[in-house]
Amino acid sequence: THAIASQLATPRPAGNTGKGFYVAGSKLYDPNGQEFRIRGVNRNHWDSYGTPTGLPLSGANTERIVLSFAKPTTYNWNIVSSQMLANKIVPIPGNWTATCKADPASLAAIVDTWVAQAATWTQLNTTGLINIANEWGPANSTIWRDNYITAIARMRAAGYTGTLVVDSGGCGQDAQDIVKYGAAVLASDPQKNILFDVHVYGSFHYPA
């Protein structure tokens, strides 16, 4: 089995020194180099988990969770570790405090929190993904590009080596941010490990 897995494994991009999930080309791979297709749900931290009859039995392999960073890190980590990791569900914790905002200060404040709590969340370097900021940023803008380049550099410097999830601007719905500026954002990352995220509702298809 190990020999077969080794044959199928997709190499990490040059510069990637992480041990967890990674992006190569247009696909996401698990730590063993096998393609990983996210089949999951969004969940608010206050939602009832329904164990053992809820999400663990849904077939979801991933949960993108809205955490309240006003709560202690031990509270949030317990949700991720005992409810997701324990059930072999890949966690994607995210910060929602700058949803639909476009000012650089609000993104910087979110990164401040990730940096301050790095001792907790870098535990997901091998087992999860980090969604930096839900739906932050202006649409079709170099402001989105430049501030994410800065944010990613700060996250890497704080020890985050795994996949960072970057939402498009325009409340997550503007594909142009990624089409025009995604390559520059990816190129800035020494780990070359960015998963871009467009939220397919509202105005995501304008322009096509």
Q: Concatenated DSSP letters for 143-171?
A: HHHHHHHHHHHHHHHTT--S-EEEE-TTT
What single letter denotes the amino acid at residue 91? Answer: P
Q: If pLDDT is split at 50, 70 and 90, which confidence band does 110 have?
A: very high
| CB-based contact 130:93 (threshold 8 Å) | yes
In our burial notation (b when 16+ CB lie closer than 10 A, e otherwise), range 103-118 reads ebebbeebbeebbeee
Q: CB–CB of 161/17 below 8 Å?
A: yes
Cα–Cα distance, 45 to 110 (Å, whole number): 17
| Tens-digit pLDDT profile for residues 123-177 | 999 999 999 999 999 999 999 999 999 999 999 999 999 999 999 999 999 999 9
Among residues 97, 188, 202, 66, which one has the least CA distance to residue 139?
202
Structure confidence by residue, pLDDT tens digits, 72-93: 999 999 989 988 999 899 999 9
Is pLDDT at 100 greater than 50 in this prediction? yes
Cα Dmax for the chain:
50
